[in-house]
Amino acid sequence: MSQTPAARPRTLTAPDGTTFRDLNGNGVMEPYENPRLPVAERVADLLQRMTPEEKAGLLFQTMIGINADGTLAEPDPADSDDDPMRASTSAMVTGKLMNHFNLFGTAAPRRIAEWNNRLQDLAAATRLGIPVTISTDPRHGFLDNVAASLRTEGFSMWPEPPGLAAIGDEELVREYADIVRREYLSVGIRLALHPTADLATELRWARVVGTFGSDAEVAARMVGAYIRGLQGEVLGTTSVSAMTKHFPGAGPQLGGEDAHFAYGREQVYPGDNFDYHLIPFEAAFEAGTSQIMPYYGMPVGTQHEEIGFGFNKGIITGLLRGKYGFDGIVCTDWGLVTDTEIFGAPFPARAWGAEQLDRLTRVERIIDAGADQLGGEAAPELIVELVRTGRVTQERLDTSVARLLREKFTLGLFDDPYVDPDNAAAVCGSSEFTAAGLAAQSRSITVLTDRPHDATAPVLPLAPGLRLYTQGIAPAVAAQYATVVATPEEADVAVLRIVTPHDKRTTGIEPFFRAGRLDFTEDELRPILEVAAAVPTVVDIFLDRAAVIPEIAEQAAALVANFGASDTALLNVLFGRVKAEGRLPFELPRSMESLAAGHEDVPNDSVDPVFPYGHGLRVG
């Protein structure tokens, strides 16, 4: 179901600027918010008009689907009961009165813009016509993880955050985030569920790829620049709001396992380094981040209660609201309350430390902890019940509702939530933005070794037109730089593109989280080393996490790392058309044993790493 512009509530503006609207759908025009009034007054005016159900609807933000043609996703209710990624749009907007949604899935930018307009039409037809705030996980990188990042054709492509940290240029990060802002604005996305301010102190963690590396000071500079690129110096009508995550730092995961899953629920601080992980968040507060997301994990062995951060009053009210004075929106990570099923597998609520509580009490604990909104949930009736029974006060509810309304007004959504699909098609993936992203990909590539093959000259840069054997590179792209041959024996040089290894997991969304080991098995190493023995070989490895690669480092003629780079971006570096500038944003350990001997909360503390933090050669 989608609504046409003709279905939008009729609005009239008097000569004195007063706005009148058919608030109740009965044809009677009543005074409504006045765009000339201060935001605080507009919030207070709307707040006193709202029913408990309308207020409760604001406190939930969950996934919402999109059809490839830009129409609203309306699956059969029988197919969506247990899968939050297949919920009915109209049921959530007009039934549950929700108006914050995390866009799940992809479509062409023009279609996303058309979808936004249809969704805003649907919201405008509700009694108060509160516009929808659309959010998204990152869409401009190479990672495709349904729970963390969505590679989206049509947007400009950039290296993942560790690559930006490898370059270390704050102005580039601000420029990147500004381009993200412009592309998001054009399609109607007004809330970024990023940046990630976590630190890569535990290199086995699957979400290292979302961080700005292991050094807190570098990450702080990157996070601050990123937020300013998204929001500007002050949040306003041309901003995309930043939800910085995952307070108070999700990096120190026990054994590197992720807190999406029960076996990864513990965050540990064996190096007594809790405060180190707060440094990037302090930069986020200084930059004015509008929102904060706590992580799923529960702190173990600290002064804080051993309960998930989304339920943790000492963390949210004590540390975040109290010590840091944060008065913006706090939204939990997705799915703290309701057990569900995804991809045919059970997916329990991430209620770590609160598993024994029923759904109603979990929500009560989250609100009491100081959060304003529940991510990945669609159960406003639970808030209504808590208020009805006095377990949550009307005053406490209104505090969060006011924060959420304030942001909608500040972003200008009440004044005009619609976008121009033609503009979206022109802005997203423009030649200017695409070129900037490609240049950043090349700049972020990090040369780890460039061993002289004949004892007189380095391997890099490669000579144009040589005979080239490749693996993992599109032949049509390689042919623009060299003569492509079919076997190593025919080649002057080989280029192999590989990725950091990981343990294979098969249940639900686990395969999207590349976790576990960082070292190659003998069977995985053998074909790489055989090519390296047959011909001078350049090995390029995608470091979504660190990798244990002493054998490859020893045998490769040259070894380079990327953090999200196209074949073109890589070959531009290897053939000397662009200079690589990257330096490792985290160390590369010598063995899994040396890594395990370190501390999850301490950066770069493995014994005798193959490549230390900050390593990177300049070539050409």
Question: Closest by alpha carbon to 131, among 293, 8, 292, 4?
Answer: 8
Question: Closest by alpha carbon to 195, among 142, 169, 231?
Answer: 231
- State residue 394 phi and psi, 5-degree precision: -60, -40
Question: Closest by alpha carbon to 121, among 110, 135, 132?
Answer: 132
If one counts every other C-beta atom within 10 angstroms of the C-beta of residue 131, the result is 21
**Which CA distances in Å does 457 have to 141, 365, 461?**
35, 65, 10
Question: Closest by alpha carbon to 207, among 233, 245, 156, 168?
Answer: 245
- Going by their DSSP bridges, the two strands 558-562 and 446-450 should be labelled as antiparallel
If one counts every other C-beta atom within 10 angstroms of the C-beta of residue 152, the result is 24
- State residue 481 phi and psi, 5-degree precision: -120, -25
Instruction: Specify the 3-state DSSP secondary structure of 77.
Output: helix
Whether 333 sits among the annotated catalytic residues: the reply is yes
Residue 152's DSSP bridge partners are: none
For 21-65, give the DSSP string. Answer: E-SSSSS--EE---TTS-HHHHHHHHHTT--HHHHHHHTEEEEE-
**Which structure tokens are listed for 34?**
């006045």
**Which CA distances in Å does 501 have to 382, 516, 589?**
43, 9, 14
Q: Which of 198, 333, 567, 605 is catalytic?
A: 333
**DSSP for residue 566:** -
If one counts every other C-beta atom within 10 angstroms of the C-beta of residue 1, the result is 11
**DSSP for residue 437:** H
- In this structure, are residues 590 and 607 in contact, taking their beta carbons and an 8 Å threshold? yes
**DSSP for residue 462:** P
Radius of gyration in angstroms for the set of CA atoms belonging to the chain, rounded to a whole number:
25
Residues carrying an active site annotation: 333
